[in-house]
Structures are given as C-alpha cells and as structure tokens.
C-alpha cells in the first residue's frame, strides 16, 4: 500500500469514528480517540495533502451524521431523489471544509515544529468549530463536544466554555494518543500522557462537584409539555386542521388537570395564523382563561404590503391567563434548505434557472430581536427548533434575564432517523451553558425537561401523543458563559491565527 493510500485510509477511519461518536447509532466513548488516525496521517504531509486528508475525514463523517437531510428535502420538500441527494451532498461537502482547514493548520504547524504540533490540535479544532458556527452556512450541527451529552461530569465545563471546551478536551485526548504513538522518547510519551491525565482528572473533579451542587432557584413552576404527534404529511392538511387543534386543546386540558401553570405547544403547532383566524384565537383565549394558564406555542406571523408582497416569520407566542398575547418572538436563525435557500445564485445558476429547490423551500424572513415573556413575574426565553444548536443565540436570552429556557420544535421532518436524538443532545447543552432549566416541546418527540446540569429529567418517546408535566425552577443570574460568551472559542481562533503567522515568519 502506498503512503498516500495509507494516509487517506487513516483519514477515512477518523471519519467513521466521528460518525460512531453521535446518537442514535454511536457512543460517546468513541469520540475520545476519533481524531487520532487523522492526526497520525498528517505527519509529514504537505499543505495540499493535509487539506485533502481533512476533507476525506470531514466528508465521510458529514455524510454519516447528516444523511437525514436527504429525507427532509425529498419526502417533505418535494424534490426528486437525485436533486435531494445532491442537496444533501452539497451540505455535507460544505461542512467538510472545516475539518479540511483543521488538518491544513495542523499539517502546517507540524512542518514548522514537528510532532509537538499534534498537541496543538485542540486549538485548531476549536478554531474551526467557531468559524463553522459563524461563517458559510452557520451550520454547527453535531460539533464534536455534543457527543458527550450523556457523559455528565465532562460537560460541566460548558458553563465556562460552551460546547467548545468539551470539543477541546476530546481533541486533546486524540492528540495525546497520536503523539504517544509516534513519540521517539519514552519521556515525551510520559509527559504527554501525564499532562492529559491531569487535565481529564481536573475536568472530572470539577464536573462531579458541579453535579452535587443543588440548583438555587427563585421558586417553582409546574410546566406541561404538549406533544401532539401530528405527522408532517398531516400537519398542513386543511381537512385535518381542526382535528389537530382539538388534539392540542385536549392535551392541554390534561396538563391543566395535573396542575400545569405554564403549558408549551411545539413549533407550528397549528396551521392557522393566530391574528387572522378569530375562531382559533377565541378557542385559545377561552382555554387559558378557564384554566388560568400561560400558553407558549409556535405560530407564524405574516405581514402584507400594498404592493402584494408579503413577509412571513417563523414565530412563537405567549398568551397570558387573560387571553392577551404577552410575547411575540420571531425566529432569528433559519434552517438552510428548509426555511431559506442559501446562496440562491448558485442553486439557480446565477438566476437563469428557477430551480425547483428554490420553489419548494419556504423563504421566511429572519427575526432580529431577543424577546422575553413574563410568567408570574419571572422571565422566559423561547427559541425555535434548530436555534437550539447555537450556544451564542440561546445565551442571548439568558444574558437578557431569562430564568427559564423554552424550546419549541417540530422534529417530524426527521422521521426515526438520528436527527431527533442528535437535536435533543445539542439542546441539553444550552441548559448547562447558562445554568437554567430547559423545557422542550416537540411535535412528534422527543419532548423533554433538562435540568441546569444537563440531566434529562424526563422525556417522551418518538411518534406518540403525550403530555409531560413537571415542576421546574426559575433560575436567575447566569454562568461565566452567560456573562462573557465565547471568549474561549474566539481565544482559540486568535491563538491559531497567531501561531500560523509565526510559522510563516519562521519559514521566511
């Protein structure tokens, strides 16, 4: 086997190990060594070859983790099989650019300082993760740290670093394995392994201490999560519209009978505009008045203009016990290829072709404001669906005073693929990062209550109607991350840029 084939084989192995690090098919333990084969392949590789090796690992892992996007655009987006697969492949190949950049950085550093550069890999990996969250498609689905959602002691550092600190730890583990495998002197191996052991021990001790700490809340509230289980092909069926409404109303009555004060419906819970459908609005107002409930529910808003043009926002509303709309939030970050088409000029060949992709995908307007709702004098922040994967966005609600995080989502699009499990795993991190309870109402599941330490206290099963009623606490204040944001991740990016610049000077 040629050296090139061996290197590319190692890169592909890392790609497969990354797939096996995430739910529903993988296990968190795999993530601790997933990048080691790629790092070993980078030793002695040129800049171009390093980039290719990273692309192989990124493409393999993206295809295995994001395969479900093809199902969404084909089954529910109306695209043909070839076009749907092409869209999925385009997304995966775009995401693969970030592991490519990571590999290029490590390869370049290795050329400058030798095998010690492997131990700098965590800085490079986090640098590319923060870039992935803020450039190109802003699609930070399944960052490496999310694999540890069930490994509770090791995710408590997220209250300082967000998910990026966990990614740093996992990459450091792979880097130590790779360095120990190639180190020429036993003392180098012992130093690297010993340093990693101390880091792991420190994170574990801190996490175990944090898990034992009681949650200091400002008072309890009983929350009812309504899971209507409306299949995606039935959600917008005009003949079933009032049947779907009645199901949500009935489940809400069940939640009220169990003492719920705050009830949460999923994203796009009903196919009506609240402001334009008096019959539906009256039903909701009568319900909240009768049971003295606060109701959060996903519901879009539309604004028409005199020219015939209109704008639609993906929205969430809070109706108070007097029937008034007390909060109206518009989704800030939209789903690429689901709620808007990124770089439309590319997918329409510069506007010369009205691509079916653009015709089928809804073109929503992004919101601009972090709107909070008030329940009995306490504030909540409600964010919608895929917004749960963005640490900085959810932090925006907590930093503005939210004492409870509410996620409304519709995961019916994903069927029984890995996506609903991945989505919940990512959402759970937002609770840890901000030290808040998170309650999540999902149309077909998985609805859940997550405590401020990331424990999934209770959850529903997929594709069954359910009501989950649980008492949670309002938690004022915030964590280091809430107050200071992504200083850790941006610091890693700054360090990566500085070190790369130093290698340039050294070569010159």
Catalytic residues: 267, 331, 385
Q: How far apart are CA 223 and CA 258, in angstroms?
A: 10
**Structure token digits, residue 3:** 């050296």
Of the candidates 48, 46, 41, 55, the residue with the CA atom closest to the CA atom of residue 5? 41
Residue 184 has a CB neighbour count (10 Å cut-off) of 8
SS3 content of the chain, % helix, strand, coil (to 5): 55, 15, 30
**Structure token digits, residue 385:** 């669906």
Using CA atoms, how far residue 222 sits from 4, 326, 442, in Å, is 60, 19, 18
Is the Cα torsion angle 358, 427, 418, 38 positive or negative in sign?
Answer: positive
Q: How far apart are CA 285 and CA 252, in angstroms?
A: 13
Strand 404-409 to strand 301-304: parallel, antiparallel, or no bridges (unpaired)?
Answer: unpaired
Residue with tokens 């009506």: 272
**3-state DSSP call for residue 472?**
strand
Q: What is the DSSP letter of 144?
A: G
- Do 24 and 57 contact (CB within 8 A), yes or no? no
- Cα–Cα–Cα angle for 292, 440, 472, nearest 5°? 60
| 364 phi, psi to nearest 5 deg | -85, 160
């Amino acid at each position: 086997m040629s050296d090139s084939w061996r290197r590319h084989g190692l890169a592909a192995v890392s790609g497969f190990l990354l797939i096996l690090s995430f739910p529903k098919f993988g296990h968190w333990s795999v993530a601790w060594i997933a990048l080691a084969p790629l790092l070993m392949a980078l030793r002695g590789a040129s800049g171009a070859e390093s980039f290719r090796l990273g692309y192989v690992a990124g493409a393999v892992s993206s295809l295995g983790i994001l395969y479900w996007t093809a199902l969404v655009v084909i089954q529910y987006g109306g695209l043909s099989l070839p076009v749907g697969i092409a869209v999925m492949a385009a997304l995966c190949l775009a995401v693969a650019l970030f592991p490519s950049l990571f590999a290029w950085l490590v390869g370049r550093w290795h050329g400058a300082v030798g095998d010690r550069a492997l131990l700098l890999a965590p800085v490079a990996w986090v640098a590319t993760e923060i870039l992935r969250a803020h450039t190109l498609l802003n699609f930070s689905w399944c960052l490496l740290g999310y694999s540890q959602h069930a490994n509770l002691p090791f995710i408590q550092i997220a209250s300082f670093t967000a998910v990026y600190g966990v990614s740093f730890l996992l990459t450091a583990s792979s880097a130590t394995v790779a360095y120990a495998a190639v180190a020429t002197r036993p003392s180098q191996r012992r130093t690297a392994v010993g340093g990693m052991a101390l880091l792991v021990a420190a994170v574990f001790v801190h996490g175990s201490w944090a898990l034992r700490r009681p949650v200091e809340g400002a008072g309890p509230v009983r929350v009812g999560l309504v899971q209507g289980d409306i299949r995606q092909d039935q959600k917008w069926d005009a003949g079933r519209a009032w049947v779907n409404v009645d199901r949500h109303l009935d489940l809400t009555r069940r939640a009220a009978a169990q003492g719920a004060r705050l009830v949460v419906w999923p994203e796009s819970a009903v196919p009506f505009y609240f402001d334009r459908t008096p019959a539906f609005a009256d039903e909701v107002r009568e319900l909240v008045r009768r049971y003295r409930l606060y109701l959060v529910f996903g519901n879009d808003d539309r604004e028409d203009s005199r020219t015939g043009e209109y704008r639609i926002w993906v929205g969430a509303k809070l109706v108070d016990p007097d029937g008034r709309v007390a909060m109206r939030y518009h989704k800030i970050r939209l789903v690429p290829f689901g709620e808007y088409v990124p770089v439309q000029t590319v997918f329409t060949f510069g506007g010369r072709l009205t691509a079916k992709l653009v015709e089928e995908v809804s073109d929503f307007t992004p919101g601009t404001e972090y709107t909070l709702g008030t329940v009995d004098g306490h504030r909540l922040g409600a964010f919608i669906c895929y917004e749960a994967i963005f640490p900085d966005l959810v932090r925006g609600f907590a930093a503005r005073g939210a004492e409870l995080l509410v996620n409304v989502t519709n995961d019916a699009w994903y069927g029984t693929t890995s996506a609903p499990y991945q989505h919940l795993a990512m959402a759970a991190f937002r609770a840890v990062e901000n030290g808040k309870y998170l309650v999540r109402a999902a149309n077909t599941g998985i609805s859940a209550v997550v405590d401020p330490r990331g424990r999934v206290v209770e959850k529903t099963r997929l594709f069954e109607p359910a009501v989950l009623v649980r008492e949670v606490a309002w938690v004022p204040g915030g964590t280091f991350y809430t107050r200071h944001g992504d200083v850790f991740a941006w610091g890693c990016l700054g360090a990566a840029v500085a070190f790369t610049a130093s290698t340039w000077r050294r070569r010159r």
